[in-house]
Amino acid sequence: MTVRLDGNIIVLEGQCRVEDAEPLLGWLQADEGRTVDLTDAEHLHAAVLQVLLALKPPLRGAGKDAFIRDWIAPALTNARPPDMVPQGG
């Protein structure tokens, strides 16, 4: 598994697969104050992403993969990717 609970932090590492969604969901439902660490995430299966989008936990890190860093992390924090921020106006 590439998801693990470390104290109050849920760490996502490497290639997060569909089977990682269930423990992620359970840990987030058990304690809404838990933070998800994306620092070492390289890929998020759609099921893992859906859990994160639905529950909107606090995040730490932005992932190793450019797609996670530029598109997924901002979507999870309601921020816009750098190239989507309006310029002047």
Q: What is the pLDDT of residues 13-52, one digit of tens each?
A: 999 999 999 999 999 999 999 999 999 999 999 999 999 9
Whether the CB-CB separation of 4 and 17 falls below 8 Å is answered with no
Mean pLDDT of the chain: 88
Strands (E), 17-71: 35-44, 59-60
Pick the CATH number of 3-81 from 3.30.70, 3.30.60, 3.30.750, 1.10.10: 3.30.750
Residue with tokens 């969604």: 21
Give the amino acid at 59: L
β partners of residue 11: 4, 37
pTM of the shown model:
0.83
**How does residue 77 score in pLDDT terms, banded at 50, 70 and 90?**
confident
Q: Provide the pLDDT for residue 83.
A: 56
Spatial distance between the Cα atoms of 41 and 88, rounded to a whole number of angstroms: 34
Mean pLDDT on 58-84: 80
